[in-house]
Amino acid sequence: MGNRALMRLFLLPFAVVYAGVALLRNKLYDWGIFTSVQFNIPVISIGNLSAGGTGKTPHIEYLIKQLLQQQLTVATLSRGYKRRTSGFLLASAQSNALQIGDEPLQLKTKFPDVTVAVGENRAAAIRQIMAQQPNVAVILLDDAFQHRRVKPGLSILLTDYHHLFTQDLPLPAGRLREPACGYRRAQVIVVTKCPPQLTAAQQQAIITEINPLPHQAIFFSYLTYGNPHHISHPAQQTTLNRQTAVLLVCAIANPQPLLQYVQARAGYTETLFFADHHYFTPANLEQTSQKFHQLPATNKIILTTEKDAMRWLLLTAEPALHNLPLYYLPVNVAFFEPYDHLLQQKLQQCLNNTL
């Protein structure tokens, strides 16, 4: 038995206790002892059972694009994980990651006309959005699958193809925030980060493993990447090729899919990984600079994620940030056919039920 298996075995009793508390909490909501609030506006929840790493932000961006195509006024709401503020805040063009968090800032940067809000109390925050932005037609709740105080019109559960919730355990023995049976609350389950070559037979095997309930639909998505953009001059782009050496620097929950993508395209790759949502310091910038200059190549760049770029930009006063070839890699989500069309139908049903 390996060290990892021994550690999971040791942590299993704690996971049983954690799971029991989570189950009791959910039952109190199911029995009506704890009450959920429902709003007369379409509310779509996007979340996961695991502790991060399922690709929520690109899926939220996908939903925003779909809703904007219908000329709807969209708002997003999250707690603003690891921000240094508290309470309800609306993002503005002057907001930074410390104030609202990196993911909300990324959304506001890419969609300046979308209302982006943060607030720990989701129910109270929705009321404030509706009061301050009365034209908002639909609200997307980010990372809200366990937030049962608000009852969404559509609940979308994400699970990573490489770490399906069916093969995981509750914290701390595994990565699940609640027992796997919680998946029953979702109307849509999206298997994310799939290989682009995923076959229909492989999809069916996953559907069989998850064993969806009659009211549930399972969709499959994969990530696509654009050309890297310079962090200080976003209009300046480059490409990855076998003549390029890359120092991949990121602080995300699961960097492995990104690392595999870069390794398949760059001639040489080194990494510098930090904890998820880590706020980069001037010392980190110096560390990055030193490691970059040690790369055994003349044609080389530093590559980071869009989410990380939001935190790197807190160091704009540091000249080294602008002098280094630091690029971020845009990421988008795409759905296998016919799931793209079917998900749009689910969105429309939610809108029709409340608009």
The full set of domains in the chain, from first to last, is 3-72+137-224+334-354 (3.40.50), 227-329 (3.40.50)
pLDDT of 7 = 83
Indicate the average pLDDT of the chain: 94
Give the H or E element holding residue 245: strand 245-250
pLDDT of 354 = 67
∠ at Cα 113 (95, 74), nearest 5°? Answer: 110
**Contact yes or no for 93/112 (Cβ under 8 A):** yes
**Contact yes or no for 320/293 (Cβ under 8 A):** no
pLDDT of 169 = 94
* Tokens coding 75: 């708002």
Model confidence band, residue 344 (pLDDT cutoffs 50, 70, 90): confident
Least confident of 133-147, 191-205, 330-344: 330-344
- Name the amino acid, one letter, at 276: D
Q: What is the pTM of this model?
A: 0.94
Q: Per residue in 32-64, pLDDT tens?
A: 999 999 999 999 999 999 987 899 999 999 999
DSSP-derived secondary structure letter, 220: E
**Dist. CA 61–CA 115, nearest whole Å:** 13
CA 275 to chain centre: 15
**Dist. CA 229–CA 327, nearest whole Å:** 5
> Which SS3 state, helix, strand or coil, does residue 334 take?
strand
* Tokens coding 198: 């995923």
**Dist. CA 95–CA 35, nearest whole Å:** 34
Q: Per residue in 166-221, pLDDT tens?
A: 999 999 999 999 999 999 999 999 999 999 999 999 999 999 999 999 999 999 99
**Dist. CA 140–CA 60, nearest whole Å:** 8
**Contact yes or no for 245/266 (Cβ under 8 A):** yes
pLDDT of 341 = 80
**Contact yes or no for 218/212 (Cβ under 8 A):** yes
Listed in order, strand segments (DSSP E) in the chain are 43-48, 74-78, 89-90, 115-118, 138-142, 154-160, 188-192, 217-225, 229-230, 245-250, 268-273, 300-305, 326-329, 331-335
* Tokens coding 13: 């009793």
In the chain, % of residues over pLDDT 70: 99
**Contact yes or no for 251/276 (Cβ under 8 A):** yes
Model confidence band, residue 4 (pLDDT cutoffs 50, 70, 90): confident
**Dist. CA 169–CA 244, nearest whole Å:** 40
∠ at Cα 319 (313, 320), nearest 5°? Answer: 80
Q: Give every CB contact of residue 27 below 8 A, 6+ residues apart in sequence.
A: none
**Contact yes or no for 276/252 (Cβ under 8 A):** yes
> Which SS3 state, helix, strand or coil, does residue 179 take?
coil
pLDDT of 355 = 56
CA nearest 142: which of 229, 67, 54? 54
